[in-house]
Copies of this chain bind each other. A is one copy, B any other.
């Protein structure tokens, strides 16, 4: 099927790819995401060219971050929620940030079998997480994939994560809304959800409000509602937000109510300048993150590794102090040290 196409390589026609993405061709989108995920230098250059050519094109999708640990029913939720949105005529893209995917040998979305219906939906696009261990790299590639989905005219971009390490922060910093999906908890403890994660959430969804777990889900939801009320009021929230709700992804209950709340919150934030403000803040955040990472990447080049290894041996032998060796390394690499 790819016989007549060139792979992402030297001969790729970026202008053509751009047009096909703007024409909402899913295969072109998939190929473009493969391009931005590539670590090859020529691919990085082409990706930059493509992203630049697409700047300002397409639409600003609603970017929804979704975090939930394994077992809370994340895939089922995304499938049910996504199907409900596409049934309303909305186009939905699903991306994943999974820093552990390299370790576990596959993406959390696997081969899409866990979202069989949604993956067959013409108005949906599901992309597994790039297999990379480095969260910084995953973050940039995912942000670029989001930009591509927006260029391809998607209305909603769902960015999911299992919430390993810092991945919630990464996802929250690239989302307009951040959802926390939880399972009903026995007792009234708050499932060890870290305060920092709670504070990121715009809406907490207690899933599995069905069958035997329904009353537990309702009680859990009440617990979280109480906990959310104790948090400091954030300027970007209208009255009543952040809030906790019950849903049943399995029985498809509560999903449209959850969506209504998301729309209400989004509209309020747009009307009050918070929506645009958050995107500006996020762009600044990523600029500084990228800057730090690009700077530190300077130490990963061949010449830098050689210099660091040689000086490291001198340090180990006690011939030079660690700080002096650090300054010497940067001097040797032509990065004048400017330590105060």
Interface residues of A (CB under 8 A from B): 39, 41, 44, 48, 51-52, 55-56, 140, 143-144, 147, 280, 283-284, 286-301, 308, 311-312, 315-316, 318, 321-327, 329-330, 334-340
Contact of A287 among B295, B296, B301, B311 (CB under 8 A): B311
Q: Is the CB of B301 within 8 A of A338?
A: yes
Across the interface, do B283 and A322 meet the contact criterion of CB distance under 8 Å? Answer: yes
When all copies of this chain in the complex are counted, the total is 2
Give the chain B neighbours of A334 by CB distance below 8 A.
334
Give the chain B neighbours of A311 by CB distance below 8 A: 287
Q: Quick one: closest B residue to A48, CB to CB?
A: B324
| Interface SS of chain A | helix
Contact between A295 and B335, CB atoms less than 8 A apart: yes
Question: A338–B296 Cα gap in the complex (Å)?
Answer: 10
For this complex, 29 residue pairs linking A to B, each with C-beta atoms less than 8 Å apart, are A41-B340, A48-B324, A51-B324, A52-B324, A143-B322, A147-B321, A280-B316, A283-B315, A283-B318, A287-B312, A287-B322, A289-B322, A290-B323, A290-B325, A291-B326, A291-B330, A292-B296, A293-B326, A295-B296, A295-B330, A295-B335, A296-B296, A297-B337, A298-B336, A300-B338, A300-B340, A301-B338, A334-B334, A335-B335
| CB closest residue in chain B, given A39 | B340
Q: Given contacts A286-B322, A298-B330, could you give 9 more A-B pairs where the C-beta distance is less than 8 Å?
A: A39-B340, A287-B326, A288-B308, A294-B337, A295-B335, A297-B338, A297-B339, A300-B338, A335-B335
CB <8 Å contact, A284 and B315: yes
Q: Which residue of chain B has the shortest Cβ distance to A134 in the bound complex?
A: B340
Which residues of B lie under 8 Å from residue A293 when comparing CB positions? 326, 339
Give the chain B neighbours of A288 by CB distance below 8 A. Answer: 308, 312
Alpha-carbon gap, A52 to B320, bound state (A): 8
**CB neighbours of A286 from chain B (8 A):** 322-323
Q: Please determine whether B55 and A321 come into contact, CB atoms closer than 8 angstroms.
A: yes
Q: How far is the CA of A280 from the CA of B140 in the complex (A)?
A: 36
Docked-complex contact A325 and B294, CB < 8 angstroms: no
Top-5 shortest CB links A-B: A290-B326, A286-B322, A287-B322, A291-B326, A287-B315
Q: How far is the CA of A286 from the CA of B287 in the complex (A)?
A: 28
List residues of chain B with CB within 8 A of the CB of A290: 322-323, 325-327
